[in-house]
Structure 1
């Protein structure tokens, strides 16, 4: 399984309702793309409070690297990605992506 972790620093002027819309659009990808096991998104609730401005994020689990590649190439992913970039602090600089192969 591949775990795709994305952290976002949204601009201060982006309302939570807009963030919820973007995440809802992201979640709809699971219904149209095979190999997506789950998508979880939201705002950090960490008691450590060391997010360094990355207050929102999501985790998407994929069956394998090929499923992640199909997701990355899919037009729905590109649309969500464009929305994330447009609303993040500094555009792409406000987004952190980490992909991890999860072993049994």
Structure 2
């Protein structure tokens, strides 16, 4: 596969700061989801709360997975002014954050 070609996943793990209310978290999630309607290269967003029984979450409580058609699309999203404005507020509400970008592959068995 050529570099930059093919679907790219953008995975963000988050732990909100103490004192951030559930209503504030809900508003951030709605704002994050709305980026799909504004920033064309962002094709989808899935999110959820940690429900692991393994206790390996290292304090992260929420996961956000975005899909982009290409690495260039991800770069366009990251630089987009609406994303930058959203990210400034969202990231300031987080105690911990981890971001990983990857190209998903299927294992043939």
TM-score by length of 2: 0.83
Higher helix share: 1
In structure 2, C-alpha distance between the alignment counterparts of 1:49 and 1:18, rounded to whole Å: 26
1:96 is aligned to 2:98 = yes
Gaps in structure 1 of 5+ consecutive residues: none
Moved over 4 A (4+): none
The 5 Å alignment of 1:34-49 reads: 34-49=40-55
In structure 1, C-alpha distance between the alignment counterparts of 2:101 and 2:47, rounded to whole Å: 16
1:4 is aligned to 2:10 = yes
DSSP-derived class of the 1:96 partner:
strand
1:82 is displaced (CA, Å) by: 1.1
In structure 1, C-alpha distance between the alignment counterparts of 2:94 and 2:13, rounded to whole Å: 10
TM-score by length of 1: 0.87
Give the CA RMSD over aligned residues: 1.4
DSSP-derived class of the 2:16 partner:
coil
The 5 Å alignment of 1:1-104 reads: 1-89=7-95, 94-103=96-105
Gaps in structure 2 of 5+ consecutive residues: 1-6
1:9 is displaced (CA, Å) by: 1.5
Cα-to-partner distance string for 1:33-85 (whole Å, 9 max, x where unaligned): 22222101232122222211111120001000111011101122112211222
